Amino acid sequence: MKKIIANWGNYPSIESDEKTFSFPEDLATYVGREDRFIARGYGRCYGDASLAAKTVCTLQYNKVLSFDTKEGIFECQSGLTLDKILPIIVPKGWFLPVTPGTKFITVGGAVGSDVHGKNHHVDGCFSAHVMEMDITGHDGETHTCTPDDKADLFWATCGGMGLTGVITRVKFRLKKIETSYIRQKQLKAKNLDEILRLFEENKQYTYSVAWIDCLKKGKGFGRSILILGEHASVEDLPAGKKEKPLAVPSGKQINFPFNLPSFVLNKFTVKVFNFLFYGKNMKREINNVVSYEPFFYPLDAILNWNRGYGKKGFIQYQFVLPLESKNGLVEILHRISDKGIGSFLAVLKVFGPQDDLISFPKEGYTLALDIPVRNGLMPFLDELDALVLQHGGRLYMSKDARMKPEILEKGYPRLDEFKSIIRKYNPESKFSSLQSERLNLTSR
Amino acid sequence: MEKYVFIIGATSDIGMAIAEKYAREGYDLLLGARKSERLLPAQSDLQIRFGIRCNLLELDLSQTTTLAAVWNSLENKPGITICVAGFMQDNDEVLRDTSATLQTIESNFTGPVTLLNAIALDYMKNGTGVIAGFSSVAGLRGRQSNFIYGSAKAGFIAYLSGLRNKLFHHQVHVLTVLPGFVYTKMTAHLSLPALLTATPAQVANAVFTGIRKKKNVVYVKWFWKWIMCIIRMIPEFMFKKKKL
C-alpha cells in the first residue's frame, strides 16, 4: 500500500509502497520478486535509514518463539517491539540487557541499529547479548548466524542498517532482576568539568546518563543533571511495594495531538525550559526508587512528542568523541551554544570500550541533541561534522539524515570491510535505503 | 469445556486477532487451519504471553467428507466454536474458472457447513455450547462485483439463521458475524473508506462481546446495518442497472 512515511525526526518524508507479512514464505516471495527495498519496523530511527520507495514492514511478524525463564533466554520474530516484551519478561524476573530511551522499537531495529543504552559502559550494545539470528538474504533463503558462525554476516548485520537482508528471528540473553524498580540518584553539575568528573567518579553505576543544557554560556557552561541508576533489590523498596516487587507499570500515555508551529520553539522558549528543568532539582543530590518506566522511557509517556518540533521535522545530531578529545567536546558545545540552536535538552553519556565492525559506540563521550530543521542548519551541521572528524569522532547512522559519505568513511575505520560484506550478501543492492544510497553503501 | 475455544481459519488476520483476544481473557485455544504448522510461532507466542494452552489442528475444509471425523476424534472438545474461514478472489476470474468457483463455494459454504453440522450435533446432545460463524455483508444482496463469493456467504447466512433457530431449543447459542470491510491481507490492495473499515482487533472485540451477550447478528461497524438495509430495499429493476 502506498503511503507517506517518515522516521522519528519527520525529516525527510517520502512516498513508499509498503508491504507487510505475517509468514516467512510471504517474505521470501516478496524478496524474490522485488528490488531495491528496505526492511522497516517502528520507524524510530530518526533519519532516512529505513526509508525507500519500497519498504517491507516487519510489524506483523511479531511472535514470541521461546522464553527460557530459568536461563533468561528470549527468542522472537523481528517485528516484536520492546514494549510488548517487557510485560512478558519483567514479571518473571528478567529485563532487557540493553534498552534505548524508547521502548517503541522492534527487536530487528535494535539489531540493525545496534542500539545502546544508559549501561553501555558496563554491558555494551544490544549485539553483545544476541546469541543467534536469522536473516532472509537476497536469494530469499534464510541464513542463520551467530557471533562465531557466519560471523561476517552476523557482525555486518549488527548496526548494518538492514543492508545484509531482512532480520527475521533474534535470540538474545536477558538481564536478571529482583524487582522492576530502579534505585535512582540524580546529581547536579554546575558546569562541564564537574559533569565529566562526576561521570568518572560514578562509573561503577550500571546506568548513567546526563541531561545537559547546550545554551548556557559563561560560568554555567555545560551545566547538567547526572542520572544514575541500579536495579533495586527487594530491600530497597518502600513497604507498599515489597509485596509485588516485579509489578509492570500501567504505562498510561498522553498524546501530543498536533504539530507545534515551528516558531514556538526558539532560543527563548528553550532557555526557559532548560532553566526550569535544571531548577526543578532543588537539591544537589536526590535519591529515590522509581519504576523502570520513568527511568528508562521518560518520553514514551508522551505519544508523538516529535510533533513538538513542527511539521518540518528535526535532526537528532549524535556523535561520539574519544576520551582524550575532551577539548573537542568543549569546542563543539561552544559552537552549539554560540549558534543558539539546540533542543530542549541534550543527552551526554560516556561510552565504554567497544570495537565492532560498523556499530556506532566506541569509548568516549557521546552527545545527542535535537535540532529543528530550518534554513541554514545543514551547512552548520557540516561544520560540526568537520570538528567531530578532526577530534577523532564519528556520527550515528540511526540518527543521520544528511551526512556526506566521506564523513562516514573517515569516521569508521572498518568501513571497507563492511562494504565488501554487503557486496557479498547483497550483491545487486536489493536491500537499499535512501541512506545507503546517499552514503554509497549500496549502488544507486 | 467452558474456557476452550476452537477457531476455524486461524491463520487469517481476523482469526489471529480473535485468538489473541480469547487468550488475553484466559481461554485455552484450538487453532484449526490448513498447513497448521504455519501457526507454530503463534502457538508459542500465545502460550508464553498469556499462559494459556494452545493446540493446533490440521484442517482442510475442502476435504468435506473427513471433517466430521476430525471433530469427533478430538478428545477434549472446545465449548465455543468460531468459524472465520473464508476466501475471496476477483469475481470475474472466478466466473471463468470452474475450480475457483468450486473453491469459493467450498471454503465459504460447503466446508464450514459440513464441519459445523458435526459440532452442532455434539453441542445439541450436551445441551450447551456456542457457535459463531463469519459471513459477509456481501451475502445480503448479490452484486455484480462479488456475487459468487456473496452467494456462498448468503447460503451461510441462511444456514446460521436456521441453525440458531434449531439450537435455541437446546440451549446452544449461534452468532452470525457480518464484519463489513476489515483491514487485512485480503484487502491490503484496496483503498477502503476509513469510517466503514474495522481493524481485526475491533472485529475480535465485537465477536467476544457478541458471544458474551448472546447477540444474534453482529455488524462490527454499526452503520453497515443501515447501509445494507437501504441496499436491500432498492427494487430489483433499479438495482440491476447499478454498477455496484
Residues A386-399 pLDDT 10s: 999 999 999 999 99
List residues of B whose CB lies inside 8 A of any A CB.
11, 13, 16, 38, 41-42, 44-45, 48-49, 185, 188-189
SS (H, E, C) chain A: CEEEEECCCCCCEEEEEEEECCCHHHHHHHHHHCCCEEEECCCCCCCCCCCCCEEEECCCCCCEEEEECCCCEEEEECCCEHHHHHHHHHHHCEECCCCCCCCCCEHHHHHHCCCCCCCHHHHCCHHHHEEEEEEECCCCCEEEECCCCCHHHHHHHCCCCCCCCEEEEEEEECEECCCCEEEEEEEEECCHHHHHHHHHHCCCCCEEEEEECCCCCHHHCCCEEEEEEEECCHHHCCHHHCCCCCCCCCCCCEECCCCCCHHHCCHHHHHHHHHHHHHHCCCCEEEEEEEHHHHHCHHHHEECHHHHHCCCCEEEEEEEECHHHHHHHHHHHHHHHHHCCCCCCEEEEEECCCCCCCCCCCCEEEEEEEEECCCCHHHHHHHHHHHHHHCCCEECHHHCCCCCHHHHHHHCCCHHHHHHHHHHHCCCCCECCHHHHHCCCCCC
How many angstroms away from the CA of B43 is the closest CA of chain A?
8
pLDDT beyond 90 at A5: yes
Better-scored residue on pLDDT, A217 or A134: A134
Residue A325: which residues within 8 A CB-CB, separation 6 or more? A364, A365, A391, A392, A393
**Does A197 fall in a domain?**
yes
C-alpha cell at A435: 541512506
Contacts of B49 in chain A (CB under 8 A): 64, 84, 88
Confidence (pTM):
0.92
Which residue has 513508499 as its cell numbers? A16
Contacts of B38 in chain A (CB under 8 A): 23
**Does A433 fall in a domain?**
no
A344 — pLDDT class (breaks 50, 70, 90) = low
Q: How far apart are CA A300 and CA A101, in angstroms?
A: 8
Q: Each residue of B175-194: pLDDT tens digit?
A: 999 998 888 877 777 788 88
Contact B46, B25 (CB under 8 A): no
**Does A194 fall in a domain?**
yes
CB contact under 8 A, B41 and A63: yes
What value does the mean pLDDT of chain B take? Answer: 94
What local confidence, expressed as pLDDT, does residue B2 receive?
A: 74
Q: Each residue of A299-335: pLDDT tens digit?
A: 888 888 888 888 888 999 999 999 999 999 999 999 9
Mutate: best of A55, A64, A134, partner B, most B CBs <10 A:
A64
Contact B109, B155 (CB under 8 A): yes
What local confidence, expressed as pLDDT, does residue A118 receive?
A: 97
What value does the mean pLDDT of chain A take? Answer: 93
How many angstroms away from the CA of A88 is the closest CA of chain B?
6
Mutate: best of B13, B48, B49, B186, partner A, most A CBs <10 A:
B48
A2 — pLDDT class (breaks 50, 70, 90) = confident
CATH of the domain at A237: 3.30.70.2520
How many angstroms away from the CA of B209 is the closest CA of chain A?
24
When pLDDT is averaged across residues A154-174 and rounded to a whole number, the result is: 98
Q: How far apart are CA B79 and CA B84, in angstroms?
A: 16
- AA identity, residue A132: E
List residues of A whose CB lies inside 8 A of any B CB.
1, 20, 22-23, 63-67, 77, 84, 88
**Does A87 fall in a domain?**
no
A342 — pLDDT class (breaks 50, 70, 90) = low
ipTM of model over 0.90? no
Contact A133, A169 (CB under 8 A): yes
pLDDT beyond 60 at A79: yes
Domain count, chain A: 1
**Does A215 fall in a domain?**
yes
**Which residue range is the domain that position B141 belongs to?**
4-239
**Does B175 fall in a domain?**
yes
Contacts of A64 in chain B (CB under 8 A): 44-45, 48-49
Q: Each residue of B29-88: pLDDT tens digit?
A: 999 999 999 999 999 999 999 999 999 999 999 999 999 999 999 999 999 999 999 888
pLDDT beyond 60 at B196: yes
Q: How many CB pairs lie under 8 A apart between chains A and B?
A: 27
With CA atoms as reference, the chain A residue closest to B190 would be: A1
What local confidence, expressed as pLDDT, does residue A372 receive?
A: 87
pLDDT beyond 90 at A281: no
CB contact under 8 A, A65 and B49: no
Of A333, A318, A304, A300, residue with least CA distance to A369? A318
Mutate: best of A63, A67, A78, A88, partner B, most B CBs <10 A:
A63
With CA atoms as reference, the chain A residue closest to B42 would be: A63
Q: Each residue of A216-239: pLDDT tens digit?
A: 888 888 999 999 999 999 999 999
**Does A187 fall in a domain?**
yes
A416 — pLDDT class (breaks 50, 70, 90) = very high
CB contact under 8 A, A22 and B16: yes
Share of chain A above pLDDT 90, in %: 80
Mutate: best of B45, B49, B56, B187, partner A, most A CBs <10 A:
B45
Nearest-by-Cβ selection for A1 from B44, B49, B188 = B188
pLDDT beyond 60 at A106: yes
> Which range (A275-284, A349-358, B5-14) has the least confidence?
A275-284
Contacts of A77 in chain B (CB under 8 A): 41
CB contact under 8 A, B49 and A64: yes
Domain count, chain B: 1
Mutate: best of A22, A30, A57, A62, partner B, most B CBs <10 A:
A22
Q: How far apart are CA B137 and CA B226, in angstroms?
A: 11
**Which residue range is the domain that position A376 belongs to?**
181-408
How many angstroms away from the CA of B23 is the closest CA of chain A?
14
What local confidence, expressed as pLDDT, does residue A33 receive?
A: 95
A109 — pLDDT class (breaks 50, 70, 90) = very high
CB contact under 8 A, A23 and B42: no
Burial track B186-217 (b if 16+ CB lie within 10 A, e otherwise): eeeeeeeeeeebbebbbbbbbbbebbeeebee
**Does B244 fall in a domain?**
no
Burial track A130-155 (b if 16+ CB lie within 10 A, e otherwise): bebbbbbbbebebbebeeeebebbbb
User: How long, in residues, is chain A?
Assistant: 444
Instruction: Tell me the backbone φ, ψ of residue B217, rounded to 5 degrees.
Output: -130, 135
**Does B33 fall in a domain?**
yes
When pLDDT is averaged across residues B205-229 and rounded to a whole number, the result is: 92
Contacts of B186 in chain A (CB under 8 A): none
Nearest-by-Cβ selection for B44 from A20, A22, A64 = A64
When pLDDT is averaged across residues A118-137 and rounded to a whole number, the result is: 98
CB contact under 8 A, A88 and B189: no
**Does A11 fall in a domain?**
no
